[in-house]
Chains A and B, each alone.
Chain A
């Protein structure tokens, strides 16, 4: 999907998982940028039809990059800086009542 250009400053990288798959990205990336750089096109399914969606605006406006980060849903991936060891998951459609834990 996206790749780093040749003229970038080298920097440290961070490890994280997306749906259990181990990935790495540049320290300083947002979660959404890290997913794009790892070839992830879709990061959620809509609550209405279940259609696949991916990051659209990258600036906090469209809410298409919503993901689950470390167990917390509805996070805007484009606004959250990536951290070492983050557990990122696809936000799968509508929340089901039996998923809700007290």
Chain B
């Protein structure tokens, strides 16, 4: 592996550019490099691993039991990439992917405050997942964070919340985090479980499949351990963070009863959804997945998107977890190699057969979890008007509802023009799904009918100075010089 510390050290052209160094990106880059292709793996983080294996090579957490054995599996993925000739660029943001004149793609990248455009024949987006927005009153107060944020602080810095900590939401990751934080000595004063009781009705049909799932043993162990040790409150139907300039308490509603719990840190989690900003901005078709209840790019059996030459591997193309992400990365790399003429379709299929089997096994039982831990409507479309939905532009649920119904706004692109929601620096990552949900509710239609925002590059803010310093191409000069 060749680590790239300066943007000038990147090659002009790669056979494959992989974006994101989580399990999918690491596996895709390693497989492609092993096939003799020239590979760039660009990742925003300072070290490889993505979020699930965050800081796997640098974590200061010495006691392996704190993070659990599953975490340490990430080391093998990094070690495999290290044995290849792939170029790995940490701290490198990919802000644009667009078709170029040669039939490949042009990538816009930034590293250490300098931007550059390079070319790649094939693209594998492995941008992973982000946490589902969890809009409740007060969720913008300092001290309110995602559960994933606390997990990142633990993995990468060995930090745990120092004061009274409340964890709220539902889903496997929430119980995992609760167990990890408890093992690390955090003071967890309550776990407020929002799993809607009636979800069991929908999920029970998927239960037989779950019985054969790799999640089962692990999940049950997590659940029973967390429940035995921690102060669980189930059936939570509404939440609000309270405090003036930071969170001091959380108010939880359980049916008719309400309870206020003092805390210094409130960690929220309602599952993860694909991070779609780059694939959407690259023009890859997106669809609404009703079971995972999220927007996801359309991909085929090889994780190829609607744009030939761009594949989307890992959780960025639908949530499947770390193990499936790595396998999907392998498949995408094999298909990219086939597209580049390395081998035939038949050879690709032969190589992929065992991976495909493992992938099917790794996804078994997923549907049960998706259905069981689907957040209640009240957390997807916040009923309290004062709830901030767009954190960047400070637009409330009431404003969005009002604009949707009174002005007849039918989609998130139009909503931007009226309210600026989704136009702040996060570019709708934290409000987009909620805005769609609120519009859908106002018009009595499904989120699929409302559609998602059409995003555009740059998908991460870059400075004008960086853009201006890019060397002008002939086409760019012709466009402005007469």
Write the residues of chain A forming the contact surface with B, with a CB cutoff of 8 angstroms.
1-9, 11, 26, 28-30, 33, 36-37, 41-42, 46, 48-49, 51-64, 66, 72, 74, 78-79, 81
Contact = CB atoms under 8 A, between A and B. Distances in A.
A3 B160 contact: yes
Given A1-B143, A5-B61, A60-B44, A26 B429 contact: no
Nearest to A63: B425
A57 B35 CA distance: 36
Which residue, B45, B140, B157, B185, has most C-beta atoms of chain A within 10 A?
Answer: B157
A61 B130 contact: yes
A3 B11 CA distance: 42
A58 B145 contact: yes
A30 B152 CA distance: 11
Given A42-B245, A79-B46, 4 more contacts: A42-B142, A48-B393, A57-B146, A60-B45
B429 A62 contact: yes
12 contacts: A1-B161, A2-B153, A2-B161, A5-B154, A5-B159, A7-B61, A36-B153, A37-B157, A49-B394, A51-B394, A52-B141, A54-B143
A5 B51 contact: no
A29 to B, nearest CB: 5
B62 interface: yes
Given A33-B157, A36-B153, A56-B145, A1 B163 contact: yes
B231 interface: no
Contacts of A49: 394
Nearest to B426: A63
A95 to B, nearest CB: 13
A41 B60 contact: no
B130 to A, nearest CB: 5
Contacts of A63: 392, 424-426
B58 interface: yes
A79 B185 CA distance: 26
Interface residues on B, range: 35 or more
Given A48-B394, A59-B51, A63-B425, A8 B60 contact: yes
B428 to A, nearest CB: 11
A86 B367 CA distance: 47
Contacts of B157: 4, 26, 28-30, 33, 37
Which one of B51, B158, B425, B429 has the highest number of Cβ atoms from chain A below 10 Å of its Cβ?
B158
B245 A74 contact: no
B298 interface: no
Given A5-B185, A7-B62, A33 B144 contact: no
Contacts of B424: 63
B365 interface: no
Given A48-B394, A63-B392, A56 B149 contact: yes
B414 interface: no
B196 interface: no
Contacts of B185: 5-6
Contact of B159 (A7, A33, A46, A61): A33
B184 interface: yes
> Which one of B60, B63, B141 has the greatest number of beta carbons of chain A within 10 Å?
B60
A74 B461 CA distance: 9
Nearest to B160: A5
B62 A36 contact: no
B396 to A, nearest CB: 11
B149 A7 contact: no
Looking at A7, A9, A30, the one whose CB has the most chain B CB atoms below 10 A away is A7
Given A26-B157, A36-B159, A48-B393, A59 B142 contact: no
A63 B185 CA distance: 29
Contact of B246 (A4, A9, A42, A60): A42
B140 A51 contact: yes
B426 A61 contact: yes
Given A1-B163, A42-B142, A63-B392, A57 B158 contact: no
Contact of A59 (B58, B144, B149, B245): B149
A48 B396 CA distance: 13
A36 to B, nearest CB: 6
